[in-house]
């Protein structure tokens, strides 16, 4: 037991009582004795050995050989455990899914363990928020120190409440995902963003903070009901106005503090991104929504609400957008400059992309128009999506939104493949509503984000994800993208994010999934060229990211259309990358970024501007080559690719219009650093 | 006499370690033994042999199929490896690792060959440990864990 450490913690003005339920000023010597540990492992031998070891450390141990059972224990006894140790490979539920659930619902520190010490698996644990990863056979020495994770988490939570400016949520989240910083180079930005945002919000909360600073509030568990109240409040306020203080007031839950709400808001964004990636999306969604079947619905509704808020706000105030995106993108932004090859990034960010997706989803929903089409919305959705998208896709502004929403949608779709059905309705409605309002600036980030998920942009196919989107092909038939996307995007998404910050993240998530699908299909060329054009237009604006700055005009679209071979992912990337950059200029440099990443097939892609104007063939080529690499965020314009000339023109128009908008937003919104507070 | 028995037991254990049958994890298990659980290690090992017999069977059946389902084989072996290393079965763990490598490369022959080794080591260790525990029971329940010199 490290009393010294305990003392140190105390010195941080964290009441000793907050450190451990059992230790107080007088009984700190006992800490960490009595730490309540829940061990989950399907191997009875490991379970027995761990139990014995933990008991030797004087912890209170509860054994469990099934993840579902463990979750039940945790839910029934909300404050009954301090820490969870779980195996990675379990027959009934993946250890990472359990990790997400626990993090989302109970916010407890979770330690993963496995005989598998492969770097990928360990990284997966990190990105999913595990506080530690132990390699089997686990030694008792390793278990002796697990209490540090409990203390750290409590300290962060406490500190968060005390001084939000530093981003309590951020701290808490950071503690949970410190390794993520590596992945998300923009975590610092995110933090800054959070800080700036928090500063604004917290100015009036100063007194509140002071009052709570003296004592540690019990951890708030976000049950389904509580979360629903939260979501309702957010929707009611509108994304741009959904500040923790107001949310708190609307929720009117006794005992809930603004800090709790602020943390939850950030955490939700993070989780959404996480789940956006896909595999865990289902789980995550569930977790997000609570252990109910409504997860899907709730997620969508949440996203939808956000999107609607975005849409209604028209230009999606930088603040809200920034918030959402920053949160979502924050992580991604750090990743790397746009040109980062997607392939490499892909793996790295695969975890992240889901998150992004989520974040983007909400944003994207606004862009439902275009994105729906493009996103490889789950098979069911696709036909509807496309239809919806076509109609709504006309407006440029919407494009952005759509793209984003789509991406978000698709992202969610992607991740939630099985839940595609529920999504469909969501997407459809989102598409419709968002189509028109999102300002281009918004659209851009969205687009980028959307792209990954929306698949559409990329592949032109809605089926961003091969898996779920299989059916996407409907409008675009070519959308095999879905399959390809998955893998490809991940890479792209990062570059995008860095540029534009947020949009990229979402797109990334989506991209990853999409990338997986098979880029082969020129999905980008979905029949929805209209939307594509629009997207393109938007993209051009947004594509400032990529490098060329050249606008990705319709021409690109046409190109994309032609050569969809590249696989939607690439398209998307372009769009995303452009979106990301959009802040600065809609120039499409996306093409550059996106295409650059990949192969040189496209060759031309690197110069979006040029390509844009050039024949569609170029674009398509580029797309092929790049496929996804850049797509992630920048290529939100991918949808454009699908689109035809009209789409492009629409986009262009919108871009022009959005350009102004962007300035309003200050694309700062997208940049985590500059997010207007 | 007692000392002799103790020394004999200690030598037995030492040889198991020297021959690479057991590793540090076994010591960890022994350190968990106390007055409340004097035969903890034996209980764990017994449980291990009972549970892993099923896994061995599964792998055997899976190896008879054609074509081989490497993912499934890898999965089974992962479980088996996890259990084996939990009791400190060093040689066995290494064979498992080798098997998993063959699975990854899709080397069916390599898998089958390695699994024969696995089964051999598995049986050999079982016998040795049975012998060891039998002797330990004779020596007395107060046998404390001590690292082989």
pLDDT of amino acid A339:
41
ipTM over 0.85: yes
- Regions in chain B scoring below 70 on pLDDT: 1-2, 141-149
Which runs of consecutive H residues, i.e. helices, occur in A563-607? 568-582, 590, 596-597
Q: CA A201, CA A19: separation in Å to the nearest integer? A: 27
Contact assessment for residue B37 and residue B142, using Cβ atoms and an 8 Å cutoff: no
Q: What is the reported pLDDT for A61? A: 94
What are the φ/ψ torsions at residue A93 (nearest 5 degrees)?
A: -155, 140
**Minimum-distance CB partner of B83 among A43, A53, A139:** A43
Nearest to B44 among A45, A116, A136 (CB): A45
Closest by alpha carbon to A277, among A435, A90, A410, A431? A410
Spatial CB neighbours of A254, under 8 Å, sequence gap ≥ 6: none
Average confidence (pLDDT) per 10 residues, chain A, 677 residues? 43 41 48 89 93 92 92 89 93 90 88 90 91 92 91 76 47 44 43 47 46 54 80 78 80 80 78 60 41 40 44 46 46 42 41 41 42 41 44 43 42 39 40 40 39 38 37 38 39 39 38 40 41 43 40 39 39 39 39 38 40 43 43 40 48 47 42 47
Of B24, B78, B82, the CB nearest to A46: B82
Q: Distance between CA atoms of A220 and A241, rounded to whole angstroms?
A: 23
CA angle A530, A535, A536 (to 5 degrees): 100
Instruction: Spell out the residues 6+ positions from residue A211 whose beta carbon is closer than 8 angstroms to its own.
Output: none
Question: What's the pLDDT at B16?
Answer: 92
Q: Using CB atoms, which residue from B32, B47, B85 is nearest to A44?
A: B47
Does residue A52 sit at the B interface (CB-CB below 8 Å)? yes
A238-264 burial, b if ≥16 CB within 10 A, otherwise e?
bbbebbbebbbebbebeebbbbbbbbb
The 10 Å CB-count burial string (b at 16+, else e) for A358-377 is bbbbbbbbbbbbbbbbbbbb
Residues on chain B bordering chain A, Cβ-to-Cβ distance under 8 angstroms:
24-25, 28-29, 31-32, 37, 40, 43-44, 47-48, 51, 75, 78-79, 81-83, 85-88
Size of interface A-B (CB pairs under 8 A): 55
Contact residues on chain A for B87, CB-CB shorter than 8 A: 45
Q: Establish whether the linkage from the previous residue to A628 is cis, with ω within 30° of 0.
A: no
H or E element in which residue A40 lies: strand A36-40
Q: Collect all residues with Cβ–Cβ distance below 8 Å to A95 and sequence separation of at least 6.
A: A40, A67, A86, A87, A88, A89, A112, A114
Inter-chain touch A116–B78, beta carbons under 8 Å: yes
Which residue of chain B has the CA closest to A141? B28
Residue A220 DSSP class: P
Q: Is the Cβ of A215 closer than 8 Å to some Cβ of chain B?
A: no
Q: CB contact, 8 Å: A12 with chain B?
A: no
d(CA A462, CA A648): 18
CA-angle at A411, arms to A496 and A582, nearest 5°: 30
Residues in chain B closer than 8 A to A48 (CB atoms): 43-44, 47
- With beta carbons under 8 A apart, name residues in chain B contacting A45: 44, 47-48, 51, 83, 86-87
> What burial letters (b/e) apply to A72-89, b meaning 16+ CB within 10 Å?
ebbbeeeeebbbbbbbbb
Which residue among B32, B83, B87 places its CB closest to the CB of A52?
B32
Predicted pLDDT at A276: 62
What is the DSSP-derived secondary structure letter of residue A543? G
Task: Please give the Cα distance from A596 to A68 (Å, whole number).
Answer: 45
Nearest-Cα distance to chain A for B34, in Å, is: 10
Closest-CA residue in chain A for B41? Answer: A49
Distance from CA of B51 to the nearest CA of A (A): 8
For residue A159, the model assigns a pLDDT of 66
Contact yes or no for A593/A545 (Cβ under 8 A): yes
Contact B32 A45 (CB under 8 A): no
pLDDT at B122: 93
Element holding A64 (H helix, E strand): strand A60-64
Å from A340 to nearest chain B CA?
A: 29
Distance between CA atoms of A55 and A282, rounded to whole angstroms?
A: 35
Between CA A631 and CA A636, with CA A633 as vertex, the angle to 5 degrees is: 75
Determine, for residues A43 and B32 on separate chains, whether the beta-carbon distance falls below 8 Å.
Answer: no
- Contacting residues of B for A56, CB less than 8 Å apart: 32
Looking at CA atoms only, how far is residue B32 from chain A in angstroms? 7
* A136/B85 CB distance under 8 A: yes
Whole-angstrom Cα distance, residue A520 to residue A515?
10
Strand partners, A132: A111
| Closest chain B C-alpha to A46 CA, distance in angstroms | 6
What pLDDT was estimated at residue B56? 93
Query: 77-116 in A: which are within 8 Å (CB) of B?
Result: 89, 114-116
**C-alpha distance from residue A503 to each of A198, A448, A668, A676, B99 (Å):** 21, 5, 12, 16, 44
CA distance B66 to chain A (A): 24
Instruction: Assess contact for A157 and A251: CB atoms under 8 A.
Output: no
What's chain A's length in residues? 677
Distance CA A611, CA A29 (A): 69
pLDDT of residue A250: 80
Please tell me the distance from the alpha carbon of residue A464 to that of residue A468, in angstroms, as a whole number: 8
* Residue contact A45–B78, C-beta within 8 A: no
Q: Is A131 helix (H, G, I), strand (E, B) or coil?
A: coil
């Amino acid at each position: 037991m490290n009393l010294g450490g305990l003392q140190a913690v105390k010195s941080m003005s964290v009441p000793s009582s907050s450190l451990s339920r059992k230790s107080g000023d007088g009984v700190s010597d006992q800490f960490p004795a009595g730490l309540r540990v829940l061990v989950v492992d399907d191997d009875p031998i490991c379970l027995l050995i761990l139990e014995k070891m933990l008991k030797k450390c004087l912890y209170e141990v509860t054994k469990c050989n099934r993840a579902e059972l463990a979750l039940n224990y945790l839910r029934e006894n909300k404050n009954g455990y301090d820490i969870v140790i779980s195996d990675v490979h379990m027959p009934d539920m993946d250890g990472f899914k359990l990790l997400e659930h626990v993090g989302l619902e109970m916010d407890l520190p979770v330690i993963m363990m496995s005989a598998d010490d492969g770097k990928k698996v360990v990284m997966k644990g990190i990105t999913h928020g595990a506080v530690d990863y132990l390699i089997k056979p686990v030694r008792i020495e390793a278990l002796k120190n697990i209490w540090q994770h409990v203390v750290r988490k409590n300290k962060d939570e406490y500190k968060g409440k005390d001084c939000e400016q530093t981003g309590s949520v951020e701290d808490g989240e950071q503690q949970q995902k410190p390794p993520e910083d590596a992945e998300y180079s923009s975590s610092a930005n995110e933090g800054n963003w959070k800080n700036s945002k928090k500063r604004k919000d917290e100015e009036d909360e100063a007194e509140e903070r002071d009052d709570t600073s003296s004592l540690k509030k019990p951890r708030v568990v976000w049950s389904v009901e509580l979360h629903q109240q939260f979501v309702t409040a957010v929707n009611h306020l509108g994304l741009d106005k959904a500040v923790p203080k107001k949310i708190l007031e609307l929720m009117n839950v006794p005992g809930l503090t603004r800090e709790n709400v602020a943390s939850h808001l950030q955490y939700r964004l993070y989780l959404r991104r996480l789940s956006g990636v896909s595999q865990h999306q289902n789980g995550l969604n569930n977790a997000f929504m609570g252990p109910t079947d409504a997860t899907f619905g709730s997620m969508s509704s949440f996203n939808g609400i956000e999107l609607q808020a975005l849409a209604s706000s028209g230009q999606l105030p930088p603040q809200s957008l920034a918030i959402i995106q920053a949160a979502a993108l924050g992580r991604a932004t750090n990743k790397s400059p746009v040109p980062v090859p997607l392939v490499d990034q892909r793996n790295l960010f695969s975890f992240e992309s889901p998150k992004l997706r989520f974040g983007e989803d909400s944003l994207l929903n606004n862009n439902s128009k275009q994105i729906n089409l493009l996103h490889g919305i789950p098979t069911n959705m696709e036909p509807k999506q496309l239809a919806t998208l076509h109609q709504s896709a006309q407006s440029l502004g919407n494009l952005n939104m759509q793209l984003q929403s789509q991406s978000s949608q698709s992202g969610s779709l992607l991740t939630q493949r099985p839940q595609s059905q529920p999504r469909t309705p969501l997407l459809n409605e989102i598409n419709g509503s968002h189509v028109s309002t999102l300002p281009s600036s918004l659209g851009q980030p969205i687009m980028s984000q959307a792209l990954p998920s929306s698949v559409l942009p990329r592949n032109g196919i809605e089926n961003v994800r091969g898996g779920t989107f299989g059916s996407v092909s409907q409008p675009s038939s070519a959308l095999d993208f879905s399959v390809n996307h998955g893998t490809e995007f991940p890479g792209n998404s990062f570059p995008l994010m860095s540029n534009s910050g947020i949009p990229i993240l979402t797109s990334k998530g989506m991209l990853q999934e999409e990338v997986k699908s098979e880029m082969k299909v020129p999905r980008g060329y979905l029949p929805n060229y209209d939307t594509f054009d629009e997207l393109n237009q938007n993209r051009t604006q947004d594509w400032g990211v990529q490098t060329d700055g050249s606008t990705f005009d319709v021409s690109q679209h046409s190109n994309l259309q032609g050569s969809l071979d590249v696989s939607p992912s690439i398209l998307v990337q372009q769009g995303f990358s452009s979106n990301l950059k959009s802040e600065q200029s809609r120039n499409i440099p996306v093409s550059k970024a996106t295409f650059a990443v990949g192969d040189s097939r496209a060759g031309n892609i690197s110069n979006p501007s040029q390509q844009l104007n050039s024949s569609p063939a170029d674009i398509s080529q580029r797309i092929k080559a790049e496929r996804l690499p850049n797509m992630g965020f920048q290529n939100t314009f991918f949808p454009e690719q699908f689109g035809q000339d009209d789409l492009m023109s629409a986009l262009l128009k919108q871009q022009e219009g959005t350009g102004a908008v962007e300035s309003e937003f200050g694309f700062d919104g997208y940049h985590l650093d500059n997010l207007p507070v | 006499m007692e000392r002799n028995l103790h020394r004999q037991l200690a030598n037995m254990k030492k040889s198991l370690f020297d021959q690479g049958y057991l590793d540090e994890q076994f010591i960890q298990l022994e350190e968990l033994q106390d007055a409340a659980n004097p035969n903890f290690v034996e209980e764990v090992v017994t449980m291990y042999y009972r549970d892993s017999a099923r896994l061995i069977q599964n792998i055997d059946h899976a190896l008879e199929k054609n074509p081989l389902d490497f993912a499934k084989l890898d999965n089974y072996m992962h479980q088996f490896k996890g259990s084996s290393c939990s009791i400190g079965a060093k040689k066995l763990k290494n064979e498992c690792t080798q098997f998993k490598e063959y699975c990854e490369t899709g080397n069916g022959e390599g898998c089958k060959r390695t699994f024969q080794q696995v089964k051999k080591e598995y049986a050999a260790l079982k016998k040795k440990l049975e012998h060891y525990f039998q002797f330990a029971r004779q020596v007395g329940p107060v046998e404390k864990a001590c690292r082989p010199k």
